[in-house]
Structure formats: C-alpha cells, structure tokens
Chains A and B, each alone.
Chain A
C-alpha cells in the first residue's frame, strides 16, 4: 500500500513591510535591527492577514497548519507562537495545528511550554502537534540564554515536559537546570500518551541520534536546506533508526521548503523573484557570529566548520541558485509536482511542509500560490497516490 503524503501549510509571519535597505545598514534582520522599523499599524494588518491565509489552508485541504517561534527579528514575527496557534484552534475545525516549535533552552520554566501545548491539545480535541527546537543562534543573543548550555537545557526541558504530560502528578522533578517539588499538569494533554512530537532541524548527527532513539521515534523535519543535505540527513535518520532496531517509515520524515507555483514556469519565476531573493538575502541575513554562537554546535562540529572556513550565508542566493540547490521550489504546478515526486522517490519523506508566503510576498500572490498549489500539486499528488490502491483493491 502506498502511504499517503501529508501536506502542511507553514507560515513564518514575516514583517513584509520591511524596508530591506535597513538590513543592509545594520547587516542583519535579527537582534540588532532597531524595532523602530516595525510599525504596529502595519503589524496589526499583517497578523490578521496571515491568520486569514493560514485559516484558508483548512478549506484548501491541507492536513495541517504550522507556526513557529523566533525572537527580535523581521524574518518571523511569532515570538509567542502559542497565541497564534490558539487563534487558529478556534477558527478551524478539522485541520491539525503544529507548533514547530518552541525553543526549549531559552525558557527558565519549561512547564509553561508543557501547559501551553496541553491547552492547545485540549481546545483542539487532539489536533495539536508539538515541535521542540533549540532556536537559532541569534535567539541566544536576544534572550541572553547561554548557548554553551543549549544542548543540556534542551534535553532536560524535553524530559520535564514529556514527564509532565505522561506521569501522574504531583511528582518531583530533580534536574540540573530545572527543579520542581510539584509537577502536576492541569490540564493534561488530550492525546494519549501525549501530542505527536516533531523535531525541526537544519541537520545534525546528534539531533538524529537523539530523535531516533527507540523511546522517542520523533518525526524529523529538515528545514530550508539544499536537497543534497535533505537526502543525506533523511538517509542518516533511516540508517540510525535501523541501527537502533526499528524501521523508519516515510511519515517519520518531513521536508520544510518555501515554494511558489504559478500558471507557467516563467510567470512563477517572475512573480517570486524579488520576494524569494529578499527571503534568502535580507530576511535570513545575519553575521556568522550571530548564527553560531559558541556552544550552539558541538565543539567538534564548530572546529570542523572553522577549519573548512565555511562561508556561511555568503554563497549565491539568487533565485536561480536557491532553485538549483532545491532550497526553493518554483515553477508551474507540473514542474513543482514533478520535482516533489522525484525528490520523494529518491529521498522518501512522507510529509511536505510548504511555506507559500515568504518575505515580502503580497497577499494576492500568496493566495494565488496557495490555491494553485492546493489544487494542482497537493490535489494531483493525492489523486495519484490513491489511484494504484484502487487498482490493487480490485
């Protein structure tokens, strides 16, 4: 039986009204870009527009809607993503809502995250998907969290949250960073034993080792990466799972990628170009020191990068270059559909999370993109996937 691919609509809620020349001046859209560049009147319109776009995802047939957390930047305006997930949970009825994810090492009390997610799971009646991340390097500057303790705080916060979800309270939690006398979560999560946990990552051996552990078997998402990296890490996930004694099915693997579909390849490239280039060149922009503070990567990985003198973020980020590497899907529905099917055949992911609004892309183009994608990419792939089953059933 062919497994059905799951389609998710991912949004970053960028500050689309950003004067991108300001990021040239400051050298970053993160941490140090003054918030005088943010106009609350425009922000008010943007938040409501973006929530409309996500809500539209349910009517268009997506399996799930995704929000995430970033701080002090123009790239993604959801510093407290639970609020956006909460807004969606009452305006939708059937679609899943994924918070991908909360940055666990940043908080001093992970119980707040356990509570927030349990609430969302209760309101939605089990439509909630939890994501756990470490945040990106810049976040450690904005929140003054110690990047050298990022890994250990992540693991301990994770253990605390999962125990809070699954163990009968009250119980004591005795950790190094977190200590509680009475962990006793009200409300408990709706789903048993707890909401599904997904782990978005830019690719790391340590993360894959941890996510594939037989006690966890968490769904792994590769985010905004070249297709070569996608293939490498998804193979690594399957191999590691096998070494740990279990078979990773495609639903354990997801790919998050910005995408623009239009009537023809030529129209798609013309319409997407300024916004896709703004996304990779301006909104994601930050110096390497901000991206990778000490400890964010393991010492070994960091030493490897320094030796290779990797020129992070300084590569060619033209539309052609990000299309070539597979970091941006762009073209007619036929082109994009074929690309997804080819990659899927080669790489074997069962979830695809497309970001159909990015950077400065205006509402009308975002909606057109969503409609064409839903009908002619997602819809067609679903038809193709159910067809052979019907033949087989006869």
Chain B
C-alpha cells in the first residue's frame, strides 16, 4: 500500500489540511458536509490507480477558517488557486454532496486544469417541488439514519464513540455548512444559470435511496450538463463512498482511468 502524506499548505492565506497518497493521474476528492480528516478505505482503493488528493475545505476540519469565506463560489475560486499552487493538471475532480456543488462551480469558472468530473449525490441545484431534507433540523441520530440506507450500518456508526476532537470538528463543519448552504438551501440559483457551460466528461453518481438529496436530482444534473452520464447505485443512501465503496470505486475507475 502506498504511503499517505498528511500535511498543510497555505493557499490564499488559508492553512489547508491535505491528505495525499497513491500514484497515477491526479484525483482531487472534495468532501461533503461531514469533512474528510481521515484516510478512508475508498481513498486507499482509489490510490491504487490515482494520485489521490484530499484537502479539508477552508472552514472545515483541521483547515483554517479564512475571513474571506462566505459562499461556495469562494471555495470554487480557492480550489482554482489550490490546483495552480500544487501544479495539478488533467485532474479528475470527485465531489460528494457539498463537494459536488464546489466541483460544479469550479468547472463553470475554469476547467483548464480539469479532465473529468464526478458528481456524487451533489448539492448545488434545486428541483422545484422536491426540497432536500432539512439536515439542520434533524438530530444526530436522525441525520445518521437518513444518510445511510442500511440501518444496520447507521446503527454501527451511531455506536462508534466520539472523541472531544471529533465533536469539536463536527460543530465546526456544521457551522461552515450552514454558512455556505443555509439559504438558499443547498443550491445556488446562479449555478443553475451557467452549469450548462461545463464541457467536461461528467459522471453523475447517486444512491437510489438518498434521503437528503433525492435521486431525482441525478436527472437534473444530467439535463443540466451536456453529455453527462448517470449511474445509480442500488440500496444506497447519501454517502455511496462510505455505504457502497466497492461500487463507488469501480464506477470512478471505469469512468476516469
């Protein structure tokens, strides 16, 4: 197994926490509302084929919260600087949930350093009449149960002990998610106007049983991005990388290698 580097880079004045491992074409993983402070099994799997780069977004986890951070567009501009700073080219961006929203905003702005886009249970658009679940009104147990299709898995997650640091980071991530996505809730009307300009090969991945951002949103992204393909993972909730990691890795591998 390849070595994982755990390090910090200061970009746009923000000390940013990064995990990086593997070899191959660069794959930038953009996490969702829960952050990505640890090297997870699906990352190790992807690292067999890709140079996997997992930053924690500004305002999340061990990264700083910069004064300039008000919205997802700020993060999109940040990641353009991030890719330039690390000298990345021909990047496959994989964004889940909030990360998919950030990835879409990046690609609308400038796709010069990007080769492919994978949007997983992505936020960013709104299907009128089908609002996302209210993740801020759910309590911790409801949230976990709603994120997973398998309640057995949800129970396992709920039974895991939380350290004080986990709890602190959880509150920090939740605060930044509210700042970025409270209103309009989990979407940007400006993105809706311009997402059609994305010309990258795009894969839209979704769990059939997503209770936070329902699977009808996959169709919305396919309509919005010319040529995008959709893959639906059965018996899966909002976190395919965690709940169905083998299928998740296989889908990305097939699409991006």
Residue positions of A touching B, CB distance < 8 A: 31, 140-141, 144-149, 287-290, 293-295, 299, 302-303, 306-307
Contact (Cβ within 8 A) A294 B178: yes
The answer to the question of B152 belonging to the interface, with a C-beta cut-off of 8 Å to chain A, is: no
Q: Produce 1/0 per residue, B155-167, CB < 8 A to A.
A: 0000000001001
Distance (whole angstroms) from the CB of A308 to the closest CB of chain B: 11
Contact (Cβ within 8 A) A295 B138: no
Query: Which residues in chain B, 169-185, are within 8 Å of chain A measured between CB atoms?
Result: 170-172, 174-179, 182-183, 185
Contact (Cβ within 8 A) B175 A302: yes
Which one of B137, B167, B179 contacts A295 once the chains associate, using CB atoms below 8 Å? B179
Return chain A residues, CB-CB under 8 Å to B137.
31, 141, 287, 289-290
Contact (Cβ within 8 A) A289 B171: no
A-B contact pairs, 15 of them (CB 8 A): A140-B182, A141-B134, A144-B185, A148-B178, A287-B139, A289-B136, A289-B139, A293-B178, A294-B136, A294-B174, A294-B178, A295-B178, A295-B179, A303-B167, A306-B170
Tell me the count of chain B residues lying within 8 A, CB to CB, of chain A. Answer: 20
Contact (Cβ within 8 A) A294 B177: yes
A146-B183, A147-B182 as given contacts; A299 in contact with B139, CB under 8 Å? no
A145-B183, A303-B167 as given contacts; A288 in contact with B175, CB under 8 Å? no
A140 to B182, CA, bound (A): 9
Cβ-closest chain A residue relative to B177 = A294
Contact (Cβ within 8 A) B171 A303: yes
Contact (Cβ within 8 A) B168 A147: no
Return chain B residues, CB-CB under 8 Å to A293.
136, 178, 182
Return chain A residues, CB-CB under 8 Å to B134.
141
Contact (Cβ within 8 A) A288 B139: yes
Cβ-closest chain A residue relative to B185 = A144
Distance (whole angstroms) from the CB of A34 to the closest CB of chain B: 16
Return chain A residues, CB-CB under 8 Å to B176.
148
A43 to B218, CA, bound (A): 45
Contact (Cβ within 8 A) B139 A148: no
Contact (Cβ within 8 A) A148 B175: yes
Distance (whole angstroms) from the CB of B59 to the closest CB of chain A: 10
Return chain B residues, CB-CB under 8 Å to A144.
182-183, 185
Return chain A residues, CB-CB under 8 Å to B174.
294
A299-B171, A306-B167, A307-B164 as given contacts; A147 in contact with B139, CB under 8 Å? no
Return chain B residues, CB-CB under 8 Å to A289.
136-139
Return chain B residues, CB-CB under 8 Å to A294.
136, 171, 174-175, 177-178
Contact (Cβ within 8 A) B178 A146: yes
Return chain B residues, CB-CB under 8 Å to A146.
178-179, 182-183
Return chain B residues, CB-CB under 8 Å to A299.
171-172, 175
Return chain B residues, CB-CB under 8 Å to A306.
167-168, 170-171
Return chain A residues, CB-CB under 8 Å to B170.
306
A4 to B138, CA, bound (A): 48
A149 to B137, CA, bound (A): 18
Contact (Cβ within 8 A) B164 A295: no
A318 to B128, CA, bound (A): 45
| Residue from B136, B139, B176 whose CB has the most chain A CB atoms within 10 Å | B136
Return chain B residues, CB-CB under 8 Å to A290.
137
Distance (whole angstroms) from the CB of B159 to the closest CB of chain A: 17
Cβ-closest chain B residue relative to A290 = B137
Distance (whole angstroms) from the CB of B164 to the closest CB of chain A: 6
